[in-house]
Chains A and B, each alone.
Chain A
Amino acid sequence: MSAPASRRRPIAALEWLGERSTHAFEEIGRFFTMLYLTLYWAVRPPFDLRQWVRQMVRVGVDSIPVVGLTAMFTGMVMALQTYRGFERFHAESFVASVVSLSLTRELAPVLAALMIAGRIGSSLAAELGTMRVTEQIDALQAMAVEPVQYLVVPRVAATTLMLPPLVALADGIGIAGGFGVAVGLMDANPVVYWEKTFQFLDLNDVFSGLIKAAVFGLILSVTGCSKGFHTTGGAEGVGRSTTAAVVMASLVILLSDFFLTKILF
């Protein structure tokens, strides 16, 4: 005789919870396995420099417009918002410092990483996912080529190495955007604004932002590659992996941002 519906409901809820937990632990396991394999194969020959350079151009150079635009408008909005706010207690002279500090320490690394997660994380998952479902990864293995070494290492290395320069560029463009708005729209004194930009900014602020960027690059690329690598279920599976890669990478970036900020500052 089957259990009454009222008794089945908690069991079903527990089953659901169990399944979700198992799935979450599986994902975490896959991420760290992929990270370990990437580090393992990164230091073993052959080193495919051509692939590294190709991926660095794809991640770095090709992402300059999207990261630059994001940084510029963020800097402009920051200047606009803080100017209006600080005006209320006559602290307009601190706008430049707030803009430069918040951009270098927080906004440029996080926003650039989120933009790259959307642009590169998704494409890594789609590319590797398609290769998985069309047996191209199996073909690599059959040719005695280690797919993590050939496909994942250059992509992860390129993303991890290119995120810091992109963020450095974003810092500069964001600060310039803030300067443009403050001086052009708010009639701030350009000389004073420029001085105040660097008055409270030290190298540690910039470097810690760049360290964050490298960690975010590692996270988003390993997530994208791991999701792509474990794709199943044809074209639909590739779609699922792509979406999951972006969502997961974005969440982990925001989560790790908190802990990194706590450690670095």
Chain B
Amino acid sequence: MMESPTTPVRTPTAEMRPKIAVINLWKSFQGKEVLRGINLDIHPGESLVIVGGSGAGKSVFLKHLIGLIQPDRGHVIVDGEDLACADTGVCLAIRRKFGMSFQEGALFDSMNVFDNIAFPLRRHTRMSPGDVAARVRECLALVHLDGVEHKWVNELSGGMRRRVGFARAIALAPEILLFDEPNTGLDPITAAAIDRVIVEMRDNLPVTMVTITHDMKSAQRIADRIAMLRAGQILAVAPPDEFVRLSDRYIQSFLAGEPYPDNHEEVA
């Protein structure tokens, strides 16, 4: 694995305990190995972007970080606690440290925008209705959405859904934010606007961020470090400016958007 020798501004020091430590993570589905021994440290306060082709195991990896999928082997350690060993209560407590934004938003379609964002607040806090409303407005302002509180999910555009998903993810002021393909399927202008919101959150909120995407432009905009996942393994991790200079042929093909001769990933 290639690691940057230089330390950018937001990349923490080596002595710092990782916020999330992924140790030898293996996962297979119906005999097909999707993750093959991933080792990765995610440091407090950094924005790590995981890139990779379709079927490389990005989404599966992200879901392991929050315990939505249990590994066949290996560990995910969050603030020193192993998600796989934690009992249900501890697991729920660890999950409260996370906010996750899903690919299509995964908003509850039986609720309007306001209730979607208020949902975790009502569920996990004893905030008064007034405070909930204020927090919902604050979260919507952070993602540059105003006046959509009473809209239903099916009345929102793709970009708006993602941003409402972001607002819901940050409602409980989580320590870790996970983004699953935040701008897939969006036009370049909307995708750039989504990236801008993520960068603002990165700069203004005290969070550790993990984003998965296959869009290199987006990765360069929002990442402190970029990790390349290929065939269930981490191929390289480096800050954006160094990542683009890595000599690995697969990475260069990925950056240039050219076909790679031995690409067998697109099966999942």
Number of residues from A at the complex interface, CB < 8 A? 12
Q: Are B92 and A142 touching (Cβ within 8 A)?
A: no
Distance in angstroms from A54 CB to nearest chain B CB is: 10
A142 to B104, CA, bound (A): 15
Distance in angstroms from A250 CB to nearest chain B CB is: 27
Q: Are A136 and B108 touching (Cβ within 8 A)?
A: yes
- A141 nearest in chain B by CB position: B68
Q: Are A135 and B103 touching (Cβ within 8 A)?
A: yes
A139 to B161, CA, bound (A): 14
- A41 nearest in chain B by CB position: B88
Q: Are B92 and A134 touching (Cβ within 8 A)?
A: no
The A-B contact count (CB < 8 A) is 52
With contacts A138-B63, A138-B68 known, is A144 near B92, CB below 8 A?
yes
Number of residues from B at the complex interface, CB < 8 A? 26
Q: Which candidate, B76-84, B94-102, B137-145, B221-229, is the interface stretch facing chain A? A: B94-102
Q: Are B104 and A135 touching (Cβ within 8 A)?
A: yes
A134 to B107, CA, bound (A): 9
A48 to B83, CA, bound (A): 27
Distance in angstroms from B140 CB to nearest chain A CB is: 17
Which chain A residues (123-161) contact chain B, with CB distance < 8 Å? 134-136, 138-139, 141-146
Q: Are B108 and A142 touching (Cβ within 8 A)?
A: no
Q: Are B66 and A142 touching (Cβ within 8 A)?
A: yes
Distance in angstroms from A232 CB to nearest chain B CB is: 11
Distance in angstroms from B252 CB to nearest chain A CB is: 33
**Which residues on B are within 8 Å of A, measured CB to CB?**
63, 66-68, 88, 92-93, 95-96, 98-100, 102-104, 106-109, 119-120, 123-124, 168, 172, 178
**Which residues on A are within 8 Å of B, measured CB to CB?**
46, 134-136, 138-139, 141-146
Q: 3 closest Cβ contacts across the A-B interface? A: A135-B106, A142-B100, A139-B106
Instruction: Kindly list 7 other residue pairs between chains A and B, CB separation below 8 angstroms, not including A139-B106, A144-B95.
Output: A46-B123, A139-B107, A143-B120, A143-B124, A144-B93, A144-B124, A145-B120
